[in-house]
Amino acid sequence: MEKLRKTVNQIAYTPISEVLSTLSPLHLSIIPLLFLSSSLYKIALSFRHTLHHLGFLRKHRLPVPVISVGNLTWGGNGKTPMVEFIANWLANDFGVSPLILTRGYGGADEAKMLQRHFNGTSVKIGVGANRAATAASFLHKHGFVYPLDIVSFKKHIPERRIVSDKIGVAILDDGMQHVSMSRDLEIVMVNALSPWGNCHLLPFGPLREPLTSFSRANAAVIHHSDLMGPLFVDRLDYSDHHQFQNEDIMTIKARLNHLKNKFGSKPTIVMTEKDYDRDHKILGSLEPFEVLVLCCKLKILDHKEDEFKKLLIHSLS
């Protein structure tokens, strides 16, 4: 299954103009099947949006403002760091208690990471595929404040303390395709290093929706914008939320020993924080090699941060 995922991923991120010169006969042989599946997916996606637009499928409206953070392609695109940035900003700077709604996909590694980061704060983490039901449960338990006191947004809070534990804002993590919930602000994350791949829909391409879906967004945030230069590292790629098995550990250790013999020194492993939260025992399995856990934090360019916060304030008002 992992080999198939890698094959599909390689096809998805190969420009159409380079398909014949770059891909192997095996890759080329499965392109017609992927293209057919992509066409069927497009029809189903269009039908679903039409049902919502005509009112045949219900849209849930929460009694608090909703901010959606999503993307148009599969894989990591900086959604969770953005969610964390917004939640910290609302809680620490303005005394608003946010509720983060995440579906808990892939072993709920992102949810575990968020729960650890916000432990002891007023930020609440709701996990579940039915995010409307999850939100209703949290709102019933903690209560809510709406409309937001806009005056508190315009004043500096010197003590930087939480004014109320009641929920003031809901934040949808990976929410762009969750069209069954109304939102007041739609933020789309874009990876500057590999934005659209071959520009086709899943599974032939990496797009979860057509690029025309940008029309639903209020803001597009381009991350990795300062990493456009060439970079070469030795790497092993696994799909998002991959569950590591014993054979994976053996493969990783074999590569590490190869690099150690080649360069005469022990290599350092860098793994994502989500992989750590999914199975932290993997660290012990990789001894005696040093393992660093890469924690992602969102950093907005200085000249854009005030502009972005003004957009958030305007949408919440």
Residue pLDDT, tens place only, 86-99: 999 999 888 889 99
Residues 6+ apart with CB under 8 A from 47: none
More confident residue, 46 or 283: 46
Fold (topology level) of 66-225+300-316:
Rossmann fold (3.40.50)
**Integer Cα distance of 292 and 154 in angstroms:** 40
User: What average pLDDT does this structure show over 133-157?
Assistant: 74
The pLDDT-based confidence of 30 (bands split at 50, 70, 90) is very high
Question: What pTM, to 2 d.p., does this model score?
Answer: 0.75
More confident residue, 155 or 107: 107
More confident residue, 115 or 107: 115
The domain segmentation of the chain, as residue ranges, is 66-225+300-316
Q: Look at residues 85, 309, 312, 69 and name the one whose alpha carbon lies nearest to residue 172.
A: 69
59-63, 131-135, 149-153, 238-242, range with the lowest pLDDT: 149-153
Look-up of token digits 């937001």: 148
Rounded to the nearest integer, the mean pLDDT of the chain is: 87
Whether the predicted pLDDT of 151 surpasses 50: no
Note the helical H segments in 118-242.
131-142, 150-154
